[in-house]
């Protein structure tokens, strides 16, 4: 699988990254064996970039990912985790579950927002312990939407120091919006942005400001949420968008996209996976998977050829703007090198 280097760092990512929220029991339980098998399938397919966070299953995702990678040579893979939420003992007896936050795990811990310098270091130390690693490659500020000033004034400088000390290789921010990450690109020296759901075949909010900013500054962007909460898997009635039932205009647009892709013999989800890689600032597409079948299907869709005529018709139908960059024919996006 092809790789790219993040910004001006030496950190390499594969063009497809494994998002480990699912093995943190996102929405429903996954067994330890299923989680390990999914990561093994990703490895066998050539994926070498793995993204996790303390938020995912109250640390369960990090523990499972660390266990699955434990016997693999450390210099052969890239791990990304996040800071901004500390895990503390739950109030009361902790007998409930965490489904209110999306994870089917016991609520024995609670999340505490903390974008202070001390909070960053404590969060990273706890993550390293759960992962069983002495370093991670990428650390992202996780969802600082309501903590922008503290994240800029305290958390970011702490990450910059950690990068300078060689504790981490690349630093950045991960969010579901594009405006604040664009501000980070302008005001800080971050290496990478993880943008979820805002640069997809369905919508290209990230193209307004964030992606041009990243390209101009030589920084990299990782794209998550490429299927828009599943809508671009199957835009049927009741499909979700941004984790809620899709509004009819959005559902109708997704159906029109599907009609075009299928006229070219391409599944909608395949076109959705290919699309972000057409932008020169995009280094990798990050997708979640909780089973071997989901991993294999994702890899198969990314390897499927997408003809240039498909993108041309999407533009002719008004579903893509004329200036939106698209992948090169057949191979998806151009890539500077193949891993040895």
> Which active-site residues does the annotation give?
56
Count the Cβ atoms, other than its own, within 10 Å of residue 166.
8
Q: How far apart are CA 250 and CA 104, in angstroms?
A: 29
Q: How far apart are CA 329 and CA 202, in angstroms?
A: 20
The secondary structure of the chain, three-state, reads: CCEEECCCCCCEEECEEEECCHHHCECCCCCHHHHHHHHHHHHHCCCCEEECCCCCCCCHHHHHHHHHHCCCCHHHCEEEEEECEEEEECCCCCCCEEHHHCEEEECCEEEEECCCHHHHHHHHHHHHHHHCCCCCCEEEEECCHHHHHHHHHHHHHHHHHHHHCCCCCEEEEEECCCHHHHHHHHHCCCCEEEEECCCCCCCCHHHCCHHHHHHHHCCEEEEECCCCCCCCCCCCCCCEECCEECCHHHHHHHHHHHHHHHHCCCCHHHHHHHHHHHCCCEEEEEEECCCHHHHHHHHHHHHCCCCHHHHHHHHHCCCCCCCCCCCECCCECCCCECCC
């Amino acid at each position: 699988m092809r790789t790219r280097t993040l910004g001006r760092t030496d950190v390499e990512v594969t063009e497809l990254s494994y998002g480990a929220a699912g093995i943190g029991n996102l929405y429903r339980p996954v067994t330890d064996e299923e989680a390990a098998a999914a990561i093994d399938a990703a490895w066998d397919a050539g994926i070498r970039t793995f993204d996790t966070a303390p938020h995912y299953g109250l640390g369960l995702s990090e523990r499972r990912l660390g266990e699955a990678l434990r016997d693999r040579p450390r210099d052969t893979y890239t791990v990304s985790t996040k800071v901004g939420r500390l895990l503390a003992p739950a109030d009361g007896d902790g007998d409930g579950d965490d489904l209110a936050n999306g994870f089917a795990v016991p609520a024995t811990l609670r999340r505490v927002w903390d974008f202070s310098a001390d909070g960053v270091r404590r969060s990273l130390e706890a993550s390293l312990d759960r992962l069983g690693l002495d370093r991670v490659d990428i650390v992202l500020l996780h969802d600082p939407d309501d903590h922008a000033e503290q994240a800029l004034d305290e958390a970011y400088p702490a990450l910059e120091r950690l990068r300078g000390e060689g504790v981490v290789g690349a630093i950045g921010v991960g969010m579901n919006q594009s405006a604040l990450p664009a501000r980070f690109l302008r005001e800080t020296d971050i290496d990478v942005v993880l943008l979820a759901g805002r640069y997809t075949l369905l919508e290209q909010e990230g193209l307004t400001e964030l992606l041009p900013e990243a390209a101009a500054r030589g920084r990299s962007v990782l794209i998550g949420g490429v299927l828009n909460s599943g809508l671009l898997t199957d835009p049927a009635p009741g499909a979700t968008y941004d984790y809620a039932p899709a509004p009819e205009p959005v559902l109708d647009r997704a159906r029109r996209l599907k009609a075009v892709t299928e006229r070219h013999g391409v599944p909608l989800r395949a076109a959705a996976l290919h699309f972000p890689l057409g932008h020169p600032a995009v280094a990798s597409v990050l997708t979640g998977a909780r089973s071997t079948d989901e991993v294999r299907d994702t890899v198969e869709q990314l390897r499927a050829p997408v003809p240039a005529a498909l993108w041309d018709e999407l533009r002719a139908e008004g579903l893509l703007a004329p200036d939106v960059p698209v992948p090169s024919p057949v191979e998806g996006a151009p890539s500077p090198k193949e891993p040895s």
